[in-house]
Amino acid sequence: MFFLFFRVFKCLNMYQVGRNYFCPSDPVDIPQHKLTLWPGFSVSVTYLEKQLTLSADVSHKVLRNETVLDSMNDMFTRVPKERFTEACEKDFLGMVVLTRYNNKTYRVDDIDWSTKPTDTFPKKDGTKISYVDYYKQQYNLELTDLFQPMLVSSLKEKKNEACDSPRVVHLLPELCYLTGLSSRALTDFRLMKDLSLETQLNPERRQKRLQRMAENIHENREASGELRKWGLFNWRVFCILPSQSKDNYDSIKKYLTLEQPVPSQCVQNRTLTAEHDHERAIEKWQKCNNSLPGRIIIYRDGVGDGQLQMVVDYEIPQFLGFFKESHSTYSPKVTLVVVRKRCTTRFFCESHRGLQNPPLGTIIDSEATRPEWYDFFLISQNARQGSVNPTYYNVLYDSNCLRPDHLQRLTYKLCHLYYNWPGVIRVPAPCQYAHKLTFLVGQSIHHEPRIELSNTLYYL
C-alpha cells in the first residue's frame, strides 16, 4: 500500500518523510520564528461499510531555518567548554535533520569529532575526494567552517545487499537543518499560537486542501494511472516478544523487511498479560462492595488497526480465563472497547455559514465505519481553532449485550468525569487516568509505585 502512495506522490513531486508525504516546492514560511512548514498529507486505504476508501488528512512538517552548526555555535556560547561535547551529543543524537540539497531526512546516530570537511573519503570509482570538494562539485555548495565535526547517520540496508559493516553517511552540520520543535519552543506561547494558525485548519480550509490533492492526482496522468492499476495484498505477521530485547526486535524486523518482505507488528508479552492488575482491581471492588462485579466494561487504549484481531484472539480469552481462574464460579459479563484518539477521519457539518465542526456529543456509527467491526466515532470536545478531532471506538467483545445508544451514551458521560478538568475530555476518564499513570512510571519514576498510594490520584 505504501509503495503505491510512494509512486503516486512521486508523480506529484512530493517527498516521503516517515509515512507522510510533503511538498517542499510549496513551503509556508513563518519568518518571525525562523520556521518553515512543508504542507503534506497522511494517507491510508480503508474498507468502510460499502466500499474501499482512500482516507487522507492534512499534515505538516515543521522545519527550522536553523542548521545544526548554528545551534552548535549558539550552544558553545552558553555551556562551559569542557561540557560542550557532552551537551551537543545530548541535544542532537536521535534528532532528525533535513539536507535541503537533496530534500532527504536523516537520523543523527553519532557525532564524529575527529573527521573534518577537509578530510577525504573514497568514491565509488575508488578515487578519493574531500568533503569540501565533493559538495562543491556535486551541489555547488561552499562550506564556510572547515573545522566543524561530522554527523553520522546509519543507513538502512538495501534489499539483496550484503555488507560486512553497517552503512553510514557523514553529514555536514552546516548543511543539516533541524526539524521539529525544541522543548523551549514548545513552551513559547506566541510561537505555538502563530504555528497553529497554519496547522490547525478549520473545516473549510481542510476540505479545500484535500479537494486540491484529489484534483492534482486526477489531473496527473501518471498518478491517476498508478491508482487504476493498483492491487492489495493483506498478509501480515504478528510477533509476540518475551522481553524488551532490542536484538529480538531488530532481527525480526530485518528478516521481515529485507529477506521476506511482509508487513509485521511486534508486541511485547507484557502487553498481553495484566492479570496482576486485574486481580487487585477485582479484590478492591469486592472489599468495598462485599460482592464481585457482575458487569465489567474495559476501555483499551493504544491499539492500532493491525492489532485488533490480536486483541480478539489473545487478550480477550486471557481476560475471560482470568475471571474463571480467580473464582471458579465467577463469570461476569464483559464489554471491551478499543479507544483511539489519533485517526485521520474528520467530520463536518453544513450550515448557512458553510462547513462547520459538528456539535459536541455527535455520534457517527454508519457510512464511515467498518463493515467487519462494531465501531463508532464520538466528538466529545469542542475545537477552539481548526477542525475537531473525533475519537474512534471499536467494540471487540460485548457479553453485556448493551444497546449501541446505551454504550455510546455511557462513553460520552465518562468523558465528563476526569478529575483534573472541569469540562469534557477526548477519551473516557479511565483511559486518561491510565495514560497519566503509565506516563509517570515510564518517564519519571521507572518503578512500580508503592501499594499505599493505590487509593489516591497521585499520578495527576
The Cα–Cα gap between 428 and 438 comes to 16
DSSP three-state, residue 457: coil
Nearest-CA neighbor of 150 among 166, 128, 135? 135
* Spatial distance between the Cα atoms of 194 and 175, rounded to a whole number of angstroms: 26
- Do the beta carbons of residue 453 and residue 443 sit within 8 Å? no
The domains of the chain, with CATH numbers, are 2-113+149-197 (no CATH), 235-272 (no CATH), 273-453 (3.30.420.10)
What's the angle, vertex CA 296, arms to CA 294 and CA 299, rounded to 5?
Answer: 175
DSSP state of 171: E
Name the grid cell of 456.
489516591
Q: Are 265 and 306 in contact (CB under 8 A)?
A: yes
Q: Which helix (H) or strand (E) holds 106?
A: strand 104-107
Tens digits of residue pLDDT in 391-402: 999 999 999 999
Position 414 confidence tier, pLDDT thresholds 50, 70, 90 = very high
Report the SS3 class of residue 244.
coil
| pLDDT exceeds 50 at position 231 | no
**Which pLDDT tens digit goes with each residue over 183-210?**
788 888 999 989 988 888 888 888 888 8
pLDDT at residue number 235? 41
On the question of pLDDT at 174 being above 90, the answer is yes
Check: CB of residue 431 under 8 Å from CB of residue 299. Answer: yes
Task: List Cβ neighbours of 351 (8 Å cut-off, separation of 6 or more).
Answer: none
How far is residue 214's CA from residue 199's CA, in Å, rounded to a whole number?
20
User: Which residues are paired to 334 by β-bridges?
Assistant: 296
Q: Are 404 and 366 in contact (CB under 8 A)?
A: no
pLDDT in tens, 5-47: 778 888 888 888 877 888 888 888 998 988 999 899 888 767 6
CB 169 within 8 A of CB 106: yes
- Give the model confidence (pLDDT) of 243-286 as tens digits: 556 666 677 777 666 665 656 666 665 554 455 567 777 888 88
* In the block, residue with C-alpha cell 525562523: 34
Q: What are phi and psi of 244, to 5 degrees?
A: -90, 15
